[in-house]
Structure 1
Amino acid sequence: MNTSSCDATTPLHAENIQTINDDNIPDNKIPADILQKIIGELMMKYKKDGVLLNLEVDKKLTPINSCVGGVPYFPKGMEYPMADGQPLILLCQINYSEMPKLANFPTEGLLQFFIGTGNYYGTEHSKLIYHKTVSLELNQSVPQSITDVLKNALKEDLPFKGAFRLTGKIGETFALPEDRDTLFEKLAMKYSVNSWDIEDDVCKATDSLTTIKSQYGGCPNFIDENVYEDDRNTKEVLLLQLASEEYKRDEPRYYKNEWSKVNYCQYGSGFFFINGEKLKKLEFDDVTYTYDCD
């Protein structure tokens, strides 16, 4: 069976299964009620919880809040992260005490994601810093010399366009296994349909109903699945997916004429992956940062 037509790591949120019908799955070969049962069965077997992230403009962010962009937490005694003599930019920081609890992830402390200001959305340089203890009383101002450099860097082609508060909720995603030929054949026998049709219709349903969201801990949503092949077996945990996101029509904007909050080639995402054992030990010195786009 040819499996190249369907992204094996595309997540579909559980609440969307009931919306499957003949109208939103074009040219489906399997009746919608049967397709609902098939996808429901797949989700029960391969579902995975993650924290789905919401981005909102907030001009009252403090340095200890979860955010994309904005002013980083910079406690006394911390050296500001640099690369090639230039300060790195805060892409995101997550205060886990503000987030719902997720298995194997911290329940306290703050994790910062710093990136470079060069080409390829800063992937040439990145650094993660974890603070187990977080307090505004420990915070200090970022030196003016660094602030000036950062202000100029913000005019460059960075993946975020402002400062946004992050809030999270637990959500279910699922990802089809890469080797799924036998799986589809068993389902075809069970539901008296063609295994090729299962592949085609499941892929159509996934494409039609998936909403690409910023998240962590769940199944990554790749446009180009080949973008992350080398480290997939050793860095298997999604530490962060920051997805391209446009403002809703009536939503407050950070910049009046800006149309996007996050922009990785319009529809892409930035990804950070870590080894599961490293995550449990709160060791963030070996993390892969990459991105993909349409």
Structure 2
Amino acid sequence: MKKLEKILYNYLPEEDVKQILKSKRQFISLDLVDEPTNLYSSKIGGYGYLPKSIPYPTNEDNQPLSLLAQLNFEELPTLESFPQKGILAFYIDYFDDLAGMDFYNPTNQVGFRIIYMEDLTEEYHSISEQQSLFEPYSEEELLNIISEETKLNGHLSETIAILDTEEFTQYMGESYYDFIEDRFTDEDKQDEFEELIFENNIENTCIGGYPFFTQSDPRGYDTKLSEEYNTLLFQLNSDDDIVMWGDTGVGNFFINDEKLKNKDFSDVLYNWDCY
């Protein structure tokens, strides 16, 4: 974080830097690690914990959704507003070319599902039971964002709003591109600054913090979206070897901060984009 602050002071007026630093917040940075996993692990891919009291999630054609990721909060650092126990699971539709994302209604949990399970003592769907749901589709070519089940380890870190997001606009009173255009007259200097910022401020895979996009913030097209879905719930970035959203893209899930505090995950905005 100190390196990033130094970059800001080297390129921007002091008053701008002070305003940007007001956006500083904690988040959980997630690392993909080569460690054993089980049904309860924080991980991407594979099969997750799902009590039998909850039907296995399916799409509108009754085809099974696939586990994108699950977060076991007892394994992770404590982050304000987020649960301190239980598992939060993210399921998406690998039968769909858009992986269950609905461009026109990004909160429509038909092609994706967010499931929070606080009690982890219930009888659960076994791995073999979950696998059997996919057997009728063994000849179909699925999208497969995740190439192999991989453990997630988390650590607390800090970040600021310094990329093209709705949060940057809210803190600075103008869009990222207007801000950059106003502050830089030398195109080479601008490119140099943006390259350094990008290298030093990408959260990659994380819980909380600020998002990044390969295209643009989907909340920027509708004021209601930016106001309602004001918290980054989870972000999963491509990493070449294990995760690939289209052409090296990124997936994001957003929620309202009050609903997050109340552990209400029925209303989540799902987006992914790529280069």
After TM superposition, the structure 1 = structure 2 runs for residues 65-80 of structure 1, keeping only pairs within 5 Å, are 65-80=41-56
Question: Aligned partners of 1:140, 1:182: CA distance in 2, in Å?
Answer: 49
Q: What is the rounded CA distance, in whole Å, between the counterparts of 1:183 and 1:152 in structure 2?
A: 47
TM-score by length of 2: 0.78
1:1-294 to 2 correspondence within 5 Å? 14-17=1-4, 20=7, 34-35=10-11, 38=14, 41-58=18-35, 60-83=36-59, 84-117=61-94, 118-124=96-102, 125-135=111-121, 138-142=123-127, 143=129, 145-149=132-136, 156-176=142-162, 177-178=168-169, 180=172, 195-196=183-184, 200=190, 202-229=193-220, 230=222, 231-246=225-240, 260-294=241-275
Structure 2 alignment gaps of length 5 or more: 103-110, 163-167, 177-181
Q: Which has the larger radius of gyration?
A: 1
Q: 2:165 aligns to what?
A: none
| Contact 2:203–2:210 (Cα < 8 Å) also in 1 | no
For structure 1, the 5+ residue unaligned runs are: 1-13, 21-31, 185-193, 247-259
Q: 1:33 and 1:210, CA in 2 relative to 1: closer, same or farther beyond 3 A?
A: closer
Q: Which residue of 2 aligns with 1:6?
A: none
Distance 1:37 1:17, change over 3 A: farther
* 1:207 Cα deviation after fit: 2.9
TM-score normalized with structure 1 length = 0.73
Cα distance in 2, alignment partners of residues 242 and 66 from structure 1 = 13
Cα deviation for residue 123 of structure 1 reads 1.6
- The answer on whether the counterparts of 1:18 and 1:36 sit within 8 Å (CA) in structure 2 is no
Q: Could you say if the C-alpha distance between residues 147 and 265 of structure 1 is closer, same or farther in structure 2, counting changes exceeding 3 Å? A: closer
* Distance apart, 1:16 and its partner CA: 3.4
Give the aligned residue type for 2:169.
E
SS at match of 2:229: coil
| Partner secondary structure for residue 82 of structure 1 | coil
1-structure distance, mates of 2:13, 2:25: 18
CA contact 1:213–1:243 (8 Å) conserved in 2? yes
Residue 249 of structure 2 aligns with an amino acid whose one-letter code is G
